Structure formats: C-alpha cells, structure tokens
Amino acid sequence: MRILIVEDDKTKSARLQSFLKTKYPDEIPQFERSYQGGLARVELETFDLILMDMSLPTFNARPSVRLGRPRAFGGYDIMRKMHKKGLVAKIVIVSALEKFGEGDARMTFEEITEKCEDEFPELYAGAVFFKQSDSRWERRLGNILRRTFEKAND
C-alpha cells in the first residue's frame, strides 16, 4: 500500500507515522507539508491512502522562504483538484482544529468533512479529529482504514 501524509505539523506527522507503522509495518509513508507539495505529489505518483490535514500553507515551510497564503481549507483544495483531474486515492482527513476559516467562510470540522464527503465521494474515506493527548483518534482511524480497505479487498 502506498501512503502519503500531507501534514505541516511535525509532531502530528510523527504520531501518524507511528500509528501507521503499527497497522502497516512494511509500508514506508511519504510526507508532504503543504498544499503545493501534496498536490504536486499526487499528480506525479499514485497513492492508495492519503492522510491529509485540512489547514495547510500553500508552499512547504522552509526558513526565510515565503509560504504563499495560508489555506484554511488546503486539504479540501487538494481534494477538489484531485476530483477535477480524476486522480484517485482514499483520503482520510485528520485535523486537530474544530473551526476553519473566517467570517462567512467559517466552517466547523463536521461541516467541512461533510462537504468533502458530498463533493468527493470517490476520494473521501473518513475524517478523524486528532488529539495529541488521547488515542481515540487512533481507534477511529483504524476503523476507517479497516472499513475502507477491507471493503476494497472484498
């Protein structure tokens, strides 16, 4: 299974990686840290599973390098482009934020994940609310992966 993690938070990335190691010990996930990085990667390579953060910078964070605009819905933007270009993968949204965006565009975690599910049913596999301090997200992510890939294997 080819796995991509699109996440700009290193600590969260590491937690996701550890979790995946327990589930798929033989797989080595790839990492991207931005909207651009994530999108460019899925345009070039095929992944079975993508764990994707929702809020992302446009470009990879590097010292003294401008990141472009911050994207409250960067994960959604990637899914949108994938949908438009017919790119395929199973995507699980993993976010630690309850609310995204500002003003009229403000959405809750539930709202944005529902939107992803409605608009990109072929990509959306589920959503997990990530908490550093507990392991409920691991159980939920495990369930999603089991449901998604066992069904796919049936």
Partner 1 sequence: MKPTKNNSADDSDIIRETIGSVKDFKRAIHSKKDLRDGLNAARLSVLPSLIPEIVCELLESPLYLKQISRDPFPKTYPEIKRGRPLRTAADAVEALWTASVLKFHTNELNKMLSARQAYESEVLLGEFDEALNALNYIEAQFGYSLWLIGSKISLLQMKGGTLAQKEFLQQGIISSDVNPMIAYLSYLVSIACEENVSLAELLREWGKLERAGIPPHALEYMRYQINPFDMSHVREPWKCCSAEENSPVLDRLDTFLEMAQLITVRATSVDQLKYLRQACDLIAGISDRRVGNLRHLLSSPVTLNISGVPAAVPEDLLIEQPTATAIEQKWQEALDVLPRINHLESIARSRLLTQTDPNEGIQSIPVAAAVNAFEQVIALSNKYEQSRISLQKQALLLRRLPLSRMIAAFLDKSEDRVIADMANETEAIWTLSSDFWHPLELPIVKMLTDATIEFTGRPIGQAASVRMSRAALFPTTHTFKELEDAPASPKYIELFQAHAEFNQGKFGRALKRYRSFRNRCTGWEATRALIFQYRCARSLGQFKTGIQVFTDNYVRGELIHLVIPMEDLASWVIDTEDVDNVAIDRTIALRAYTTNVSNKHESDLSDAFEEVLDFYEVEKPSELFATLGKVDALNLAKLKFFWSEVCTIRTMEDCTRFPAYNDVEAERIAILESLLAKFPEMSNALGAELSSLALEQQIAHLTEQFDRSRIYVNEVGVKQFIRVELADAVTRYRRLLLRPDIAIDLNVIERHLKKLLTGERDTYKPTAPASERTGLFLGIVDLMTDAFVLSPEHGFKTYLSTRILHGALEGELRSSFLKYNLLFAASTEDEFDEIWKPKLAVGASDFRTIRNGVFRFSKKINEAIIYLKMERARVKSSATPNGLFDFEGQLREPQELQGEVDHLTLSADVADTIVRYLWKKVDASLVVVRHEIDVVFRREVTSALEVLRQLLLRRSEMAGVEAMLDATTRAYSDFQTSMERVLSWFQRAGALPIRPFKLKVAGEVAAKMANSGFPTRPISVCWEGNCDLEFRGSAFELLIDILQNCFRNANEYSGFVDRPPDVTVSANCDDFDVHIEVRNTLAKDIDIAELRSKIAERVQAASSGALPEIGRGRGVREIMLAVSQGGGKNTAVAFDVSDNSCFTVDFSIRYSEG
Chain contacts with partner 1 (rule: CB under 8 A): 8-11, 36, 39-40, 43, 55, 57-59, 61-69, 77, 80-81, 84, 96-99, 131-133
Shortest gap between Cβ of 153 and partner 1 (angstroms)?
32
Which of 99/147 has CB closer to partner 1?
Answer: 99
**Nearest one of 145, 128, 143 to 12, comparing CA atoms:** 128
* Closer Cβ to partner 1, 32 or 49, answer by number: 32
Token pair 């944005």 in the structure block, residue: 112
Nearest to 74 by CA among 50, 39, 102: 39
Neighbours of 60 (CB within 10 A): 17
- Which CB atom, from 6 or from 67, has the smaller least distance to partner 1? 67
Cα(32)–Cα(13) distance, rounded to whole angstroms? 10
What is the SS3 assignment for 103? Answer: helix
Q: Is-contact 93 125, C-beta < 8 A?
A: no
Rounded least distance, CB 10 to partner 1, Å: 6
**Minimum CB distance to partner 1, residue 26 (Å):** 29
Q: Select 57 or 126, whichever has its Cβ closest to partner 1.
A: 57
